[in-house]
Amino acid sequence: MPAFKTLDDLTDIAGKRVLVRVDLNVPVTDGKVSDKTRIERVAPTIQELSEKGAKVILLAHFGRPKGEPVADQSLSLIAPAVEEVLDQSVAFASDCIGEPAATAIAKMNNGDILLLENTRFHKGEEKNTPEFVAELARNGDIYVNDAFSAAHRAHASTEGLAHHMPAYAGRTMQAELEALEKGLGQPTRPVVAIVGGAKVSTKIDLLSNLVTKVDALVIGGGMANTFIAAQGINVGKSLCEHDLADTARSIMETAAKAGCDIVLPIDGVVAREFKANAENETVDINAIPADAMMLDVGPKSVELINGWIERAATLVWNGPLGAFEIAPFDKATVSAALHAADQTKAGKLVSVAGGGDTVSALNHADVAEDFSYVSTAGGAFLEWMEGKELPGVAVLTKG
């Protein structure tokens, strides 16, 4: 467990401006937050600071807007859900720096909560530029990082700020690291990892290290399409990063050398439209029509995956097996989630899952409570699993 200062070390903060980095990158369907887990997890930190009389200023990102404002990635869309979870009013500033932020902060009373607009609306956030860090730092006296799920990013609001002011870990940051250490510090073998989802380019590099740590890697979702295509199989219009074919092949070679089984789908559910109840068919993996996309892994693959879950003593899971938000493409994810939950309840499995959408998928399958541990983090949790130093955590230990 890394040594860092926590909220226990923060006394006498009435009237202090506390910049709190939280992860509000939550799933949204039809303009409404469809899973509030990440908000619920950071609520204790926000409430504790507010109760101690601090002016609580929330910093967060939402989506990947590439340094420019994008209307549907405004945190104003998330603010009502934050208010609902906290059961407290939350003010909103239309920019995280400059005059809008300064004016909103000047109006705050002790204990008030203010949400600043998406930090990724500025290029300096992801580049972690000294100028942008300084602009953010102007708004606070103390920095608290409670965004474990973004701690693998060395961004201005997750890393840079901690160099500029007294820095502390929030309650969720603390709890996540403690729980992961307890559940996965010395995992019982065999360890099986399931990696799916859509963030292929940002997660694929993690796999080359992960295959040296686990006994089997089950690949589903958009990630699987990239591996299938890398073997020369036509994936039609499926979500696939063809330019990562070499990376995928090299991961398979590393896995073979490390004795890690790679488990890829053998069939898939394909459709021509990405929408609920789209006309669909189940096909062999070698028979994906050129004009269709694989939106879920098929029933034979589910059987295969559930077999690996049975063989596992420890399961780590990030990324849904299919586009679970739109029926019926949730079937594989729900089936594997139910199976892992049953194995856990029977005392045969330690199951740890994480990621914004993965948590949402487990809630959709109504099994989140049955897993050994559910992390808010996906990529960060996988990097932690690899033994990598997370920049957002490392910087807290240096203060």
Ligand X SMILES: Nc1ncnc2c1ncn2[C@@H]1O[C@H](COP(=O)(O)OP(=O)(O)O)[C@@H](O)[C@H]1O
Known binding residues for substrate are 23-25, 38, 61-64, 120, 153
Which one of 186-194, 259-267, 293-301, 373-381 is the stretch in contact with ligand X15 (CB under 6 A)?
373-381
Contact residue for ligand X15 among 10, 25, 225, 278 (CB under 6 A): 25
Left, alpha or beta for 15 (phi > 0: left; psi -120 to 50: alpha)? left
Nearest to 120 by CA among 68, 57, 71, 160: 68
Sheet order of strands, 91-93 included: 91-93, 113-116, 55-59, 17-21, 142-145, 167-169
Helix (H, G, I), strand (E, B), or coil: what is residue 293? strand
Is 31 designated active site?
no
Using alpha carbons only, give the angle 165, 167, 171 rounded to the nearest 5 degrees: 150
DSSP letter at 6 equals B
Per rule CB under 6 A, count of chain residues that contact ligand X15: 13
Q: H helices of 31-97, where?
A: 37-51, 79-86
Q: Which of residues 150-179 bind ligand X15 (CB under 6 A)?
A: 150, 153
Distance CA 105, CA 382 (A): 36
Query: Binding of ligand X at residue 358 (CB under 6 A)?
Result: yes
Is 17 designated active site?
no
Residue 322 binds which of ligand X15, ligand X, none (CB < 5-8 A, kind-dependent): ligand X
Indicate which residue of 199, 213, 237, 388 is catalytic: 199
Contact residue for ligand X among 140, 170, 355, 392 (CB under 6 A): 355
Instruction: Name the residue nearer to ligand X15 (CB basis): 236 or 320.
Output: 320
Distance CA 295, CA 47 (A): 40
Indicate which residue of 17, 21, 38, 171 is catalytic: 38
What is the Rg, in whole angstroms, of the alpha carbon atoms belonging to the chain?
21
Phi then psi for residue 82, to 5 deg, are -65, -45
Residue 267 beta carbon to ligand X15: minimum distance, rounded to whole angstroms: 26
Instruction: Name the residue nearer to ligand X15 (CB basis): 222 or 379.
Output: 379
Is 356 designated active site?
yes
Residue 298 binds which of ligand X15, ligand X, none (CB < 5-8 A, kind-dependent): none
Is 379 designated active site?
yes
Instruction: Name the residue nearer to ligand X (CB basis): 169 or 326.
Output: 326
Nearest to 297 by CA among 272, 324, 321: 321
Query: Binding of ligand X at residue 164 (CB under 6 A)?
Result: no
Residue 222 binds which of ligand X, ligand X15, none (CB < 5-8 A, kind-dependent): ligand X
Q: Which helix (H) or strand (E) holds 102?
A: helix 98-106
Instruction: Name the residue nearer to ligand X (CB basis): 187 or 378.
Output: 378
Q: How far is CA 350 from CA 97, 171, 191, 310, in A?
A: 44, 24, 9, 11
Helix (H, G, I), strand (E, B), or coil: what is residue 135? helix
Residue 386 beta carbon to ligand X15: minimum distance, rounded to whole angstroms: 14
Residue 226 beta carbon to ligand X15: minimum distance, rounded to whole angstroms: 16
Residue 178 beta carbon to ligand X15: minimum distance, rounded to whole angstroms: 19
> For the residues of 218-273, what is the DSSP string, one character each?
EE-HHHHHHHHHHTT---TTSS--GGGHHHHHHHHHHHHHHTPEEE--SEEEEESS
Annotated binding site: 23-25, 38, 61-64, 120, 153, 203, 325, 355-358
Distance CA 214, CA 261 (A): 9
**Binding string to ligand X for residues 305 to 334, with x set by CB under 6 A, is what?**
-------------xxx-xx-x---------
Nearest to 144 by CA among 82, 76, 52: 52
Q: Which of residues 172-201 bind ligand X (CB under 6 A)?
A: 196-199
Cβ-closest residue to ligand X?
Answer: 355
Residue 124 binds which of ligand X15, ligand X, none (CB < 5-8 A, kind-dependent): none
Distance CA 379, CA 201 (A): 11
Q: Which of residues 118-157 bind ligand X (CB under 6 A)?
A: none
Query: Binding of ligand X at residue 357 (CB under 6 A)?
Result: yes
Give catalytic residue positions.
38, 199, 356, 379
Interface with ligand X by CB under 6 A: which residues?
A: 196-199, 221-222, 239, 294-295, 318-320, 322-323, 325, 355-358, 378
Interface with ligand X15 by CB under 6 A: which residues?
A: 23, 25, 64, 149-150, 153, 199, 202, 355-356, 377-379
